[in-house]
A and B are shown apart, each in its own frame.
Chain A
Amino acid sequence: MQKKVACSFPDEVLEHVFSFIQSDKDRNAVSMVCKSWYEIERWCRRKIFIGNCYAVSPRMVIRRFPKVRSIELKGKPHFADFNLVPDGWGGYVLPWIAEMAGAYPWLEEIRLKRMVVTDECLELIAKSFKNFKVLVLFSCEGFSTDGLAAIAASCMNLRELDLRDSDVDDLGGHWLSHFPETYTSLVSLNSSCLGSDEVSLSALERLVGRCTNLRTLRLNRAVPLDKIANILGRAPQLVDFGTGTYGADLQSDVFSSLAGAFSSCKELRSLSGFWDVVPAYLPAIYPVCSRLTSLNLSYVTIQSPDLVKLLRHCPSLQRLLVLDYIEDSGLEALSSSCKDLQELRVFPSDPFGEEPNVSLTEQGLVSVCLACPKLQSVLYFCRRMSNVALVTIAQNCPNLTRFRLCIIEPRTADFLTLEPLDVGFGAIVEHCKDLRRLSLSGLLTDRVFEYIGRYAKKLEMLSVAFAGESDLGLHHVLSGCESLRKLEIRDCPFGDKALLANASKLETMRSLWMSSCAVSFGACKLLGQKMPRLNVEVIDESGPPDSRPDSCPVDKLYIYRSVAGPRFDMPPFVWTMDEDSALQVHALHVAEYNRKPDWIGVGTYEESIQGLRAKMPFVLYLAELSNTSQCSSQPLLSGDTTLTPPRPLLRLPIETLESDDKTQRSKEGKYMIKMRYSMNPTICFEIRPISTRSFPGV
């Protein structure tokens, strides 16, 4: 009976209904109702979010969802933000762009976080997607303003270009002039991370002037204060503005034109930037302060009284980022002026100083929590905390969804009682029932993890550092936190037991990071062998882990679920634990986007071919070990293992070998293999013989 009802709707009707369903979770649920709904849904899914770019391969995504218009990808683990992930770890977006260039000609949006993007990628985007509209590069790296110039020149429908927090090689501001004079569709531009002193001000002004739909404009530091008035004058419709440098010698005419420009921006709701602030210029923004909902003063190095004076003008503020110069007194003033505050982030002005340089303690945070009932998201750096303060915060802010506390000195106890802060954080997880994200700090025993496992049922992301006493702590979290997706741990005494006992929990999470803990290499191997749907990556810059006993702890461990199997773009210091580590082959070197061939790796020919694992189109060359500058002029073999079914790797016929003078040798010689993507870069593989497990030195 049910089946009849389902069949009575034509596909187009169902597709139309599905078009109202936007959330990924709902879409996934829809696709599992029955086979026909699965089929219909996959053809009309337009937006894909992939939280870990190595969890699935581009081919798999394209195969299932052929008509995607918008994709979001995340690469490196979160701790990469703090230099814990060595350079070269991975997160390359080129294979994705290369595949999508062919499969999704109508792709409109690409959003990337913590990925390595090259100018080649940007050029490929510019020429492959005719209707490209949105490019967001959040904390990315590897590209320069030349790549941006390519985007600017070709993407006539570009609406959003957001480079927030990215590490860009800024070769000067000329890329802006690559936007053609006929281009007017810009809605959002965030170039605040660009570091060069040069910027093409005239190109910027003209661009801003002709893009009448511009709503977000975040400038970089190179744009001087006296140019702001001119820019704002051309874009009074701005909603979100980030200044460049906000300091200069005080001149009254500059001040008055600045104030005039700000006051004509009636839609302005968010301000940021403010590098090198001269306090005398701050009152120029007073005309817009009453409407501001978001204010980022995290580069503003002025003292508390001046900060308070400014904040008193902002009663509608919902989001504030500020340095700890604000101090407890400033936060108290904030709590009485800004009753609508939802998000507060307080950054340390001198995180590496030996003594505190400001009077900011737990009291500041407590006063805000007591007075701002809508507070949901907190990031707070301070030097002391107490259980009593945390309990007060928990009881007064039960709506907290994100709570990140960083007590600067690791393992700092409750300053009043000298006890661990277990009870305080326990209160946070107990009272804040919707808590999704938590970062711990201070002195913590296994007890805090018991509380977290018991109460934090909605917790999705947990960050732990210098905490806990035994495996029991980790066990509490892995066995208790039902919604846990991301767990990152550093410098905690967690070892093999809890990890192995909760192995299958790891398949329900996106990823687990553990560094400077006590997980042994043997446990990693066991996990890798027994859990085929997990990629267990050991990161160790001091050398191959199997040159030490299995009981030795690994330096860094990154475990993530994947349906794509182990990846092949790993650098020399990353090892994937796999079903059969004897056949483990991994990339020794990713040539630096410059297409220079690199020859590394040894093995007998026979063993090489058998041991080869490839997942991309490849071309096989042969070279003599002693003469690495020369290779056979003809490729010996090619294949494409990304096709389905994968073409098997052929054994090279002897006659081909012998026919080439340069490569005349017996089968038992030593050879090298060079692999190449169909689009660069070149990736080289080491071929390990089947019989040995040792890692040959390079």
Chain B
Amino acid sequence: MPASDQNSVELEEKVEELNNKLKTGGFTGSYDIANSTLRLLRKVIAGSKWNNARELMDRVKSVGKLIVASQRSETSVGNMVRRVLKLIREEYARCRGNPEGGDVQSESLHRMFTDNAKTEDYSVPILNVDFKAVVIEAVNEILIELENSADNIAMQALEHIHSDEVIMTAGRSRTVEKFLKQAARKRRFQVIVVECAPFYHGQELAWSLADAQIDTTVITDSAVFAIMSRVNKVIIGTHSVMANGGLKSINGSHTIALAAKYHSVPMIVCASMFKLSPVYLCSSDQAAFNKFVSPHSVLDFADEEGMPHLTSTDC
């Protein structure tokens, strides 16, 4: 049908666009990436042709694989895809109802052992309800939760930040910024921001906090240990949380954590749900661990001595 062709072409375009933006680094943070991915998946669910949950899940998986491959170090993409797949399974189970008549508790270990004869392949089409609408409704819920995630965390600020405290933070995390600004409405405290070379996002955060009338100091990365003894709490954001509870975060976080441990300063990490990832990164050689960009911010291209690896020019 012409309409579906047009749809699929449009979808392909959107996927291409997202891929390109990921590759060229057009996003400013993992929140934006998660948001765009979720909206794209919603479009895919609404726009593609599928008959049952299995086909839908395959479609979502294939699109997800494409996007994940564009930028492996962005784990929030994979997280969002997995969440959508999970909610499809849940909605499927709920709509089918439970044939045994028990409570729909979906997969628990107990059920896996007792019901080993029955393997769910999600291929039965749901006829009594409009499955598409149900799934899209659920995706919208996740979207709302995503958009409110930073605010939800900020609401707990007053429990953690007390008056006349010295808080250290690093880089520019949207979540932490909201967190601190929320607390500043009721409490007076002081913030020390580590600027975090080579991008110096910490300086931008400092400007923003100063505009909100928070007492802010900017320090260099090397001064972290020296200042740590005067800090009451360290609050940082993170890029993603690994399966073992480890963080993939802005450079310098490890140093800050070690200094905090030495001085027994409590450290709080503010992370939304979409940052929790089942990925387990144990070695810096893994593809998803680092994102390597051009050296132009560190080395001067014009300077010949900065090119160490070239063999001598008389060849």
A and B form one complex: no
Q: Which residues of B contact A (CB under 8 A)?
A: none
